[in-house]
Structures are given as structure tokens and as C-alpha cells.
Amino acid sequence: MDSTETSAPVCYRHPDRVTGLSCSRCGKNICVECSNDAAVGQVCPECAASTGQHRVVRAGSLSGRASFATAPVSFSILAMTVAIWLIGVVAPAANDWLFQNLAQHNLLVAAGEWWRIFTAALLHAPLNSSFGLFHIGFNMYLLYLLGPRMEQQVGSPAFAALYVAAAGTGGLVSFLLGDPFQIGIGASGAIFGLVGAWLVASWKTRQTPGGRAMFNQLMFFVLLNAVLGFAISNIDWRAHLGGLLAGMGIAYLWSIFAVGKPNAVGIRTAIATAVIAFDLAAVLLL
């Protein structure tokens, strides 16, 4: 057996932080707090200082492969959502309990069960439904594509708050604009929040080939889903719209208030948490 050990890379300024990022100029490993965007990739504080670069939310590719160590929230949400779906597959009684207590039933939300606008994101169509495996498979695939890279860039607490805020705003819009008897499930509101945040990031880097390509791809995805949302009755376009607007708004505020700040992760987390508080207040007061 080979006894050679390979340790996970850590930030050169913060040895206690495992990271999947590295400076695209000097090659040093850097954490999200030490990452500054360049035209291509990210650079360390020293390389950024020499060229006057500032940190922004970036749509370009990250160095290093995403893993639980570098994106724990993304993979935890993915694992928990899939686990809940699998419980419903193997235990129909448990599945009934989950739907009765966590799904967004607008009548029950109006009666004071506010948590449903958030918890509906944990549920997906059962295996024997018309959507079946596609519903959870599509949402979780998008989470895998969009989540870890964003979490690495903005920090785990901020990413977690963004995901919950987008889910809540999607649920809120669905509650306000949907039928009182409507019942909604799925993480699509939260996923569209990630799409919205990446739209803002790619728009800000649209002068680069990578930013422009990502913006065009995301716009096509949004427009396609807008058409499908009106063409297919089972798709809740209201939740998609709410999540998208929440993600775009949060990312825009991040770009104004968090860029270049020493406590950027804390500022991002506070902004997204404020949106969660707004969702909660709105669903209780309206």
C-alpha cells in the first residue's frame, strides 16, 4: 500500500481554511476572503494590490474541484433534499407526513403556518408522479452546477442565507399571486435564486468571454423556463419569478455593499438574512 499522504490545500494566509481556489498569477492557495477577481480567474491580495483589482461576485470558473470541504452548504442541501425524497420513495406514510406538514398549501400559509414558504423547497414530486425523477433530478443537478462555485466565492454563511431567502421569496410570491387552494413543492424558487445571482455576476463580467457566455446561457435558460412556465400548468412560474428576483436583488446589493470590505461574508449574510426577515414579515402581515 502506498503510504504517501495528500493533504487538502489551505489558504496561505489562513492555514485553518481548506480551499479549492488558487491565485491565477502566482499560484498560491487562497480562501474566499482572500480572493480578488481578475479578468481571468482570481488573484491573491498581493497580486490584486499591484494592479488595483477589487473583489466582486464572479461568474468565471474556479480552480479546484468542488467538494464537501470547499462547499459544505451546497452538498449538505443536496444530500438532505435527496434523502427526504428517498424517504418518501421507500416509506409512503412518511412521505404523506412530510407533504402534510412541509408543503406550501396556501390556505394553511394564510392560517399562520408561515414556515411552509421555506420548507416546500425540501420536497419534490414522488417517483410515481408525472414528473417523477425529473423534478428532483433537474433541480439538484442545477444546484450541483451553480451552488458550489458560488459558495466558494461568497462564503458558506452568505450562500446558505441566499438559498433560504430565494426559497422564501419564491414561496411568498406564489402565496400572494397563486390560487388559495394551490399546493406547491420543489426547490425551483431557491434554484432560480442562484440563477439570478449568477445573472448579475455574469452581467458585471460581460466584457470577458467567460462572463458573456455565461450571461447568454443563463438568459436563454430564464426565457425558456418563462415559456414553459406558462405552457405547462404544473410549473409554478410565480415561485420561479420570486426566487429569480430575490437572487438578482441580493447579488446586486452584495456588489454594492460587500465588495472590498474586510467582513464581506458577514455583510453578504446580513443582506440575505434581511430578505428572509422580509419574507417572514410579509407572509405574516399580508
Residue 233: how many CB atoms within 10 A of its CB?
7
- Do 133 and 46 form a contact (C-beta atoms < 8 A)? no
- Do 35 and 25 form a contact (C-beta atoms < 8 A)? no
174 classed as catalytic:
no
Give the per-residue pLDDT at 54.
45
Q: How confident is the model at residue 211 (pLDDT cuts 50, 70, 90)?
A: confident
Q: How confident is the model at residue 231 (pLDDT cuts 50, 70, 90)?
A: confident
The one catalytic residue in 188, 202, 233, 255 is 188
SS (H, E, C) 75-138: HHHHHHHHHHHHHHHHCHHHHHHHHHHHCEEHHHHHCCCCCHHHHHHHCCCCCCCCCCHHHHHH
The yes-or-no verdict on residue 230 having pLDDT over 90 is no
- Measure the CA–CA gap between 130 and 141, rounded to whole angstroms: 19
188 classed as catalytic:
yes
Domain boundaries, the chain: 1-55, 72-285
- Do 117 and 171 form a contact (C-beta atoms < 8 A)? yes
The one catalytic residue in 105, 124, 135, 240 is 240
pLDDT > 90: percent of the chain: 64
Q: Which three cell numbers mark 136?
A: 428532483
Q: Coil, strand, or helix at residue 236?
A: coil
For 72-285, which CATH class?
mainly alpha
Mean pLDDT check: name the lowest of 104-118, 126-140, 189-203. Answer: 126-140
Q: Which three cell numbers mark 4?
A: 504517501
- Do 186 and 229 form a contact (C-beta atoms < 8 A)? no
Tell me the pLDDT tens digit for each residue of 4-43: 344 567 788 877 666 767 665 677 778 766 776 554 346 6
Integer CA distances (angstroms), 66 to 37, 147, 174, in order: 18, 10, 33
Tell me the pLDDT tens digit for each residue of 215-229: 999 999 999 988 887
Q: What letter does residue 30 receive in the DSSP assignment?
A: E
Give the per-residue pLDDT at 33.
66
Tell me the pLDDT tens digit for each residue of 129-146: 877 799 999 999 999 999
Q: Going by C-beta distance under 8 Å and a sequence separation of 6 or more, which residues neighbour residue 9?
A: 18, 19, 20, 22, 29, 64
